[in-house]
Amino acid sequence: MQASTRLSILVLATSWLGFAPTVNAQNQFEPSRPSPTTPHPSSPSANIPDNKIDAAAAAMKSVSMVKEDYGRRIAQAPDSEKPRLANEGGQALTKAVTDQGLSVAEYTEILQIAQNNPAVREKILQRIK
């Protein structure tokens, strides 16, 4: 997989992190209504082993720090250095995920499930705290 593709996937996959607490806070005040696109908590995709949820939460913390660090570096770098830093950042993001024992595909899949499944999302958010 190309570095730019990895970087895009990881950035998109982690972008929900900023919205998750807001969505969670809204769910505390509004009665939840099942949506036709929300998987039922007992669906096979929601049965993610606890060790994978632990790994995804740890990876999210690391990915967030790497994203912040490289975002700052790229913003401050001269244009000639930005492609190198973007590639380096993509490798660092991948390492942040794989160091937790997940592939980028597993990590992305878990985050996609969490976006649509409040129970999985809550498990991840609890572990992040």
Do the domain assignments include residue 90? yes
Range of the domain at 71: 3-24+57-128
Q: CB–CB of 127/57 below 8 Å?
A: yes
Give the pLDDT band of residue 2 (cuts 50, 70, 90). Answer: low
Give the pLDDT band of residue 9 (cuts 50, 70, 90). Answer: low
Do the domain assignments include residue 52? no
Do the domain assignments include residue 42? no
Do the domain assignments include residue 40? no
Do the domain assignments include residue 47? no
Instruction: Note the pLDDT of residue 78.
Output: 96
Give the pLDDT band of residue 19 (cuts 50, 70, 90). Answer: very low
Do the domain assignments include residue 38? no
Q: Catalogue the long-range contacts made by 87-91 (C-beta closer than 8 Å, 24 or more residues apart).
A: 87/3, 87/4, 89/7, 90/3, 90/4, 90/6, 90/7, 90/10, 91/3, 91/6
Do the domain assignments include residue 50? no
The per-residue pLDDT for range 42-79, each reduced to its tens digit, is 444 568 999 999 999 999 999 999 999 999 999 999 99
On whether the pTM is more than 0.75, the answer is no
Residue 118 pLDDT more than 90? yes
Do the domain assignments include residue 45? no
Overall average pLDDT of the 94-111 stretch: 96
Q: How many domains does the chain have?
A: 1
CA torsion angle 91 23 128 89 (round to 10): 10
